[in-house]
Every structure is written in C-alpha cells, then in structure tokens.
Amino acid sequence: MTKSIDTGRCVHPGAEMYAREHLAGKLSRREFLTRATALGVTAAGAYALIGAPQPAQAQQTPVQGGTLRIQTSVKAMKEPRAFDWSEVGNQGRGFLEYLVEYQRDGSFRGMLLESWEANEDATQYVLNVRPGATWNNGDPFTAEDVARNIRGWCDTSMEDNSMAARMTGLIDPETGQAREGSVEVIDDLTVRLNLASPDISVIANMSDYPAAITHSSYDGGDLYDHGIGTGPFRPVEIEVGVRAVIERHPDHTWWGTEVYGGPYLDRIEFIDYGTDPASWLAAAESGEVDLLYESVGDFIDILDGIGWTRTETITAATLVFRTNQIAEVEGRVPYADVDVRKALALAVDNETVLELGYSDRGTVAENHHVCPIHPAYADIGPAPFDPDAAKEMMDATEFADFEHELITVDDEWERNSGAAVAAQIRDAGINVRHTVLPGATFWNDWTKYPFSATSWNHRPLGVQVMALAYRSGEAWNESAYASPEFDALMAEALSIADADARREVMAQIQQKMRDDAVIIQPYWRSLYNHHNGNVVNAEKHPSHEFHLYKFGFAS
C-alpha cells in the first residue's frame, strides 16, 4: 500500500486502480468516489489521487434557530434493523446517527466512525471510532457500542432484520449470529471485522437507513419513547399519519459541531399530508410547510411555477413490478411458472411506462435492477418487448384464462405507472385488473402480494440491492426468488474489487434476472424536491436522506 496524500495513512491498492480506471475514462467521477471512499480513502484524498482539486463545499452556513416544517409521510417507529422506509430513518436521524454517511457526490465520510481501512481482498476492515462522541445521556460512545450494534445486525433470528443480508461475511451459518472472532474490539476506539469471504459493500451498507446506531439500553419498541442517541436533536412527539417533532437537545453537547458544523435549527416538524401531491402543493401555496420530501410528476413544473426552488439528483431509485413466486391465489401458485412471468414482462414496453407513469423524468431500465450509474454495470441491451409472443406464451401455460391482479400504492406516480403496466398487459390479451391501495394498507403487507409494485431506493453499489432483494431467503426478497446459481454469482461478485472483472459476473447476474423474469423494471427515477427558497443545505439526496444537522434557513 502507498501513503495517502491527505492523511499519511495507507491507500488501498484498489483505490489506486480505480483512479487509473477513472483517468482512462472507464469510470465516472461519481463511481470512482464511491469505490475509493468505501475502501477508506477520504474524499480529499480521492480527489488528490486523480489530480483534481476537491470542489468547494456547496454547503452554506445557515442562521441559528427556527422551526423547519417538512412535508413527508409519518410512519410508525420501530427497531432500526427493521426500518423499511426512508421516512422512518429520517424521523430518527436527528438523534440516531450512523457510522458512515453517504454524500450527494457519491462519496462516503465518517460520522460515528472517524475513518476505516480495508485489506487488499476486503476480508478485513479496521474501524476507527470517532473520539469524543457521546450519547445524549452522557455516556461515552466507544468501540463496544460499535461492536454491539454490528453483532445485532448479524442476528438472523430477527425476522425483519434486513441488516443480516448485508453482513453475511460476519455471520456463522450454523448459529445465525456473528461468527466467533468476526467482530473484535481492539481498544476503546478500534473495532476489527474479520469476514469469512470478501465483501466490498460493507462500508456502503453501514450508511443505509436500517443501520442507525442504538444505545445499550434500547431493547426494542418506539425509539421516540426511548430517546437516547448521539445526535444533536431529541424526539418530542409522534403521531403516525399526522406529524412527528424533534427539537435541539438542550443538555447534549454534540460532537459534530466542531467537525462538520451545525446544528442550526431549534425544531423540526415532519408533517403528513397523505399521498396526493395536490395536498402537498396546497400546503406549499398556503405556507404551511417549508420543504417537500419529494416532488413528483406534473407537480414538479407546478411547484416551479409558484416560485418554489427545485433541486434534483442523480439516482438509481426505481419502481419494481414483481411477482411473488410462492404466493398462492385461490389454491394455485401462478408465478412459480417462469413462462407466466416471462409473458407478463414481454407484454410491457418500459419506455411507455416511463412516459405515462413518471412523465419521462428518468431513464429506461432493463428488468434486472442494476443501473448504468452503478459500478460494474454491464450493458446487456434493452428488455425485450413483444406482446404477441407474450400472449402466445401465456396461452401455453395453465394460466391462460387466469385474471392477474396488479396491486400498487395510491401515490400518484406509482398508481400511474401501475395503470400503464396493466393497460399494456391487457392490450396483449392477458387478463389483469389494477388495484390501488391506500398507503397504510399497502405497506403492512408489501412483501406478500402475489403481483405488486414497490419503490426501491438508490444504493451506491449494484451488488447491495441484488443481495438485499433477490438472494434466497433474505428479509426484503419480496419476489421469493430462490436460485442457487444466482446466489453463487452474487457471492462471487461481492468478492471482486476490480470493476472490469466484476462486470463480467454482473453481466451473468443481470442476464439471469432477465431470463428468470424476476421483475418488470420500467425505469430509473430522477429525484426532485422543492423548498420555499429560504431553506439551505436540503438539496434532494439520492437515497432520500435528511442530514438534519446541515439543514437551516438562509440569512
């Protein structure tokens, strides 16, 4: 290893390789930053590796004080490992912090970790804990807290623990718990992870919203009632579907002020106006809110028209239409038949769904859930569209006269996209009806519907979402896809640091997803939000994250 220009620490040889690939035009700058910082290089060091100056921070310094009102869904708080929506993570993010923070430019930076290092084959990570960080009850934050949370992430006995899918290299398959010796506390500020197999996604997974760090006294239940965290705010109240409130903690000196600045706001209110964007617009026009969680569809231009400020971001967020391969419908299991799934996919033109469902604000996807902005994406061409072949294939199955039911939530863009998919399946001569459910009903059973649509967040690495959503037996595997061949390919992809080598395996994974007709995935979403022009540092994040310590009002 060579020395980092910015810190004097060793630079992972993979980061140097990524720098060469970027300079040769094989990697975008965003992809390079994601890969290099995941291996322990700071953003400043990454820019130095490619001989480029680090851009000046776009972040403004807000005035102190004020109450920020944010339009967003307000959902029930739960054990963080079971967080299944970005909104839940955002409701806790003011007082629950993360080891690592994912930035809008694609880089990772330490939060409760000051830094980290990976060995050459990504089987060992050394995590350096942030000195001086404390819990808001006065307890010091130490390596024991980090180790305890990571071991909790490895607990496969918790049914809704999606973090277990992200920590497989640390888990003993016999016990379903962290393998003995896999999580070592070296001293008060150092943890070493010893993986059974290489995994390049460890740091990226630590930034995802179910990875919120909890205190040793937390044993489940409503986090607003518990209230102990390391962040600068404290929870005040929450009413599901109505609002949640946090305020600056009066008795907690936040570690981050000296490192990153902030916090600036006195109080933050998350206000739920339902799923109809017309209600969000009305709240904006009447001055009831300052910031929207997200702007969608035709309302993007309307919000521009009333003088609100638009922000947008590059993203791999998407909408996935999937069948559940083990779901029973009146005693039958229609989607166990690959030809039924293939027929449905052949009936849908993804470009049409993007136009009708999302107002063409994105890019066409290819039915395999790996985005062109993901490192190691392989171009295997567009998804096939052939409605005549779809009808012929469906008629050859025992489900020729079966009526499919496509279920979507009543969010405007998801409802419209579902209508476009159902219309095309119907136009191909296949029976289908489209059912729209209110959010409170839909979200209760989102993994169990026989045929439904789910919005999936952006994740920095393609292998992350593949492992979460399609590997056999994982908590978020809503398609119930179970393929030993796919699982083996995933294990291989997670172990390869070299982008070109991994791309060869990703091509096989992507083709396998399409051949097995696991999903219909019409498009990648461009993401937008709007604010009233007086809010700073709240630009739309590719993973819908609110970094609340940065938010504030312009002077």
pLDDT digits (tens, 9 = 90+) for 486-509: 999 999 998 887 777 889 999 999
Predicted confidence band of residue 16 (pLDDT cuts 50, 70, 90): confident
- Quick check: 3 pLDDT over 50? no
pLDDT of residue 28: 73
Predicted confidence band of residue 136 (pLDDT cuts 50, 70, 90): very high
Query: In terms of pTM, does the model score above 0.85?
Result: yes
Please name which of 375, 379, 381 lies closest in space to residue 493, comparing C-alpha atoms: 375
Predicted confidence band of residue 287 (pLDDT cuts 50, 70, 90): very high
Domains and CATH numbers, the chain: 2-49 (no CATH), 98-211 (3.90.76.10), 318-525 (3.10.105.10)
Contacts from 278-281 at CB under 8 Å and sequence distance 24+?
A: 280/71, 281/306
DSSP 107: -
Predicted confidence band of residue 44 (pLDDT cuts 50, 70, 90): confident
**Alpha-carbon distance 229 to 349, whole Å?**
47
- Quick check: 27 pLDDT over 60? yes
Beta partners for 180? none
Query: Using one digit for the tens of pLDDT, what is the confidence trace for 261-280?
Result: 999 999 999 999 998 999 99
pLDDT of residue 58: 54
- Quick check: 43 pLDDT over 90? no
pLDDT of residue 297: 86
Average pLDDT over residues 70-93: 96
Handedness of CA 311, 89, 459, 384 (dihedral sign): negative
Q: 364 is written with which tokens?
A: 């066409």
pLDDT of residue 8: 36
pLDDT of residue 14: 66
- Quick check: 377 pLDDT over 60? yes
Average pLDDT over residues 242-260: 97
Is the CB of residue 314 less than 8 Å from the CB of residue 30? yes
- Quick check: 15 pLDDT over 90? no
Query: Using one digit for the tens of pLDDT, what is the confidence trace for 190-206?
Result: 999 999 999 989 999 99
Beta partners for 3? 10
Residue 175, C-beta contacts closer than 8 angstroms, at least 6 positions apart: none
Query: Using one digit for the tens of pLDDT, what is the confidence trace for 338-347?
Result: 999 999 999 9
- 535 exposed, middle or buried (CB, 10 Å; 0-12, 13-18, 19+)? buried
Please name which of 203, 270, 229, 234 lies closest in space to residue 42, comparing C-alpha atoms: 203
Query: Using one digit for the tens of pLDDT, what is the confidence trace for 306-322?
Result: 999 999 998 999 999 99
pLDDT of residue 56: 57
Please name which of 376, 342, 324, 365 lies closest in space to residue 489, comparing C-alpha atoms: 376
Average pLDDT over residues 540-552: 97
pLDDT of residue 11: 61
Q: Any alpha helices (H) in 154-231, and if so which ranges?
A: 202-206, 223-226
- Average pLDDT over all residues of the chain: 92
pLDDT of residue 10: 53
Please name which of 98, 120, 88, 351 lies closest in space to residue 235, comparing C-alpha atoms: 88
Is the CB of residue 5 less than 8 Å from the CB of residue 45? yes
Query: Using one digit for the tens of pLDDT, what is the confidence trace for 157-175?
Result: 998 999 999 999 999 999 9
Q: How many other CB atoms sit within 10 Å of the CB of residue 401?
A: 9
- Quick check: 110 pLDDT over 70? yes
Cα torsion through 31, 35, 41, 42, rounded to 10: 40
pLDDT of residue 59: 67
- Quick check: 122 pLDDT over 60? yes
